Amino acid sequence: MDLKNRRIAVIGAGIADEEIYTTAYQVGKLLGEKGAIIYTGGLGGVMEAACRGAFEVGALTVGILPGNKAEEANPFVRIPIVTNMGEGRNVILVRCAEVVVAISGGYGTLSEIALALKMWKPVIGLKTWENIPGVVYVSSPEEVLSKILEFFT
Amino acid sequence: MDLKNRRIAVIGAGIADEEIYTTAYQVGKLLGEKGAIIYTGGLGGVMEAACRGAFEVGALTVGILPGNKAEEANPFVRIPIVTNMGEGRNVILVRCAEVVVAISGGYGTLSEIALALKMWKPVIGLKTWENIPGVVYVSSPEEVLSKILEFFT
Amino acid sequence: MDLKNRRIAVIGAGIADEEIYTTAYQVGKLLGEKGAIIYTGGLGGVMEAACRGAFEVGALTVGILPGNKAEEANPFVRIPIVTNMGEGRNVILVRCAEVVVAISGGYGTLSEIALALKMWKPVIGLKTWENIPGVVYVSSPEEVLSKILEFFT
Amino acid sequence: MDLKNRRIAVIGAGIADEEIYTTAYQVGKLLGEKGAIIYTGGLGGVMEAACRGAFEVGALTVGILPGNKAEEANPFVRIPIVTNMGEGRNVILVRCAEVVVAISGGYGTLSEIALALKMWKPVIGLKTWENIPGVVYVSSPEEVLSKILEFFT
């Protein structure tokens, strides 16, 4: 439980192929097993997969939702936050986190990476936007975990 | 566990005397025992008391914080949400909730009562702003619980 | 031009009868003639009337819009601000203003009155929510103007 | 006046060297001469330079400010919008605009570029983050203007 109550955001595409889904699931699971609270944008794809991995090992999962209804959250979100702010919720998501993990993703994810770096938060990148100065790139869920454990040592 | 995963906001003054603190604590405890998730503004007074009551019976407690630091949350907040939006967080707090319970409170609380009514959410008032049309006024924590159980029946 | 570039919010109901529309129009006109910038929620009713009065005398009018489209602004808004935050825009509207004038209005207006008072801003009330401690109640557009001129003396 | 009342955001670094300042000033001036309303983040550097160029030719300039005080706006902002949302204001700034022009810039600017692309808005890049797919790159203020005139034809 080395990450007990640590707040970690997992960000990424709202639609994921099997490889990306499995990767994000694995990240959620590994972090959840250590006691982290997983914050995501609460919708599908990478967000769902990360919540699912964490949820299945009993971790807390938070969905910072863009819309007006808690019901838009994926079923693995335990705590829905209903912002009704559209992409404005990206800023809150990043601000909640101590570390941000980016997995794949489009422009929304890029905005979150940039916002996190702007706020001086560590960003770990896995199969995501390349060559962003400041991002710590890794190549597996296990490496995500080991990097994060390093940050908190 | 009749309120399992129901999202209930408890709003009220950031500074509370003993009577109000005990009242809010009791409300948090009674709702927490039924399995509700307690959403508050995350700071002191009524917010702390409600979180504490819920926390001590093992319920989930969310603090929708106005500032920029998770550390400003009271110690009974399990999930801090860091909005950095000042009073703007009042709108998110109300939007997250299915029911809002107002206990005492000043202008901030009044704004939340009005926002909740604007969003057509039930508002239960206990020792708070009087004569607001639409608020369901009660006189004890037990009555808060029984009113809320009615809403969800 | 005693109010040149002063930022004054006019808040109130989105639907107005003739009396209220005329009142809000007159308030916008009187303040606009003095050079104030009129901030409103950008939609219909009181918001439109106040913008119209100010617009017709050449004053700047700002609409802090709840939705996602500049096109939802009434035709007398010169500068649309597209927040996509729903009622969250109420907080920004109030925060922009040095003084808030409330004319009629429902729960949304009540939330703005409370937010303004919470932020220690002067609130002038005309045919609006009664008996809110802290609101300076007046009974005509001319009195709105004279009160505001006093504030800035 | 081919851009009359068109809403154009100019984004970029809060600190600018002489070359960048002059570039942004020129962009503001060229767009302002055509009647555009210039939206910026309201602070220094590129934001100030663009406002200044537009202000000096009589155009409207809007500053979507991150903080809590209108006074933090640069002196060439005619309409301050006080969000108190920190980086959250980036989202509102982009949402107000029909076209976004990025000049130089750091992570904040990158977040705005990404948000604009996410919202399907045209982004013109001048001496800014390179190789972002979707950005229309140009090399002079005159080219910024001609591209924007094309968009609105």
**Bridging pattern class, strands D7-12 and C136-138:** unpaired
Q: Which residues of B touch A92 (CB under 8 A)?
A: 81-85, 92
Q: Which residues of D touch C79 (CB under 8 A)?
A: 37, 60, 62, 79
For the segment C104-129, the average pLDDT, to the nearest whole number, is: 97
State residue C51's pLDDT score.
Answer: 98
The mean predicted confidence, pLDDT, of chain A is 97
Q: What are phi and psi of A151, to 5 degrees?
A: -55, -35
Sites in chain D below the pLDDT cut of 70: 1
Q: Which residues of D touch A86 (CB under 8 A)?
A: 91, 95
Q: Using a pLDDT cut of 70, give the percent of chain C over it.
A: 99
pLDDT at B111 over 90: yes
Pairwise CA distance, residues B108 & B12, whole Å: 8
State residue D31's pLDDT score.
Answer: 98
| Closest among D69, D21, D78 to D46, alpha carbons compared | D21
Residue A57 CB neighbours (<10 A): 15
Q: Which residues of A touch B60 (CB under 8 A)?
A: 60, 78-79
pLDDT (tens digit, 9 = 90+) per residue, C44-87? 999 999 999 999 999 999 999 999 999 999 999 999 999 999 99
Q: Which residues of A touch C85 (CB under 8 A)?
A: 84-85, 88
pLDDT at A91 over 70: yes
CA distance D19 to chain B (A): 34
Nearest chain A Cα to C67, which residue?
Answer: A85
The contact set of A with B (CB < 8 A) is 5, 7, 37, 60, 62, 64, 68, 70, 78-85, 91-92, 95-96
Q: How many CB pairs under 8 A join B and C?
A: 58
* C12 close to C102: Cβ distance less than 8 angstroms: yes
Q: What are phi and psi of D138, to 5 degrees?
A: -130, 175
Across the interface, whether the CB atoms of D81 and C62 are under 8 A apart is answered yes
Task: Report the alpha-carbon angle C9-C85-A96, nearest 5.
Answer: 120
ipTM above 0.95, yes or no: yes
Q: How far is CA D85 from CA A92, B67, B91, C76, D67, in A?
A: 10, 10, 13, 27, 7
Q: Which residues of D touch B68 (CB under 8 A)?
A: 86
For the segment B6-35, the average pLDDT, to the nearest whole number, is: 98
Nearest chain A Cα to B81, which residue?
Answer: A96
| Residue to substitute from B37, B85, B95, B120, interface A, most A β-carbons within 10 A | B95
Neighbours of chain C (3+ CB pairs under 8 A): A, B, D
Neighbours of chain D (3+ CB pairs under 8 A): A, B, C
User: What letter does residue B126 receive in the DSSP assignment?
Assistant: E
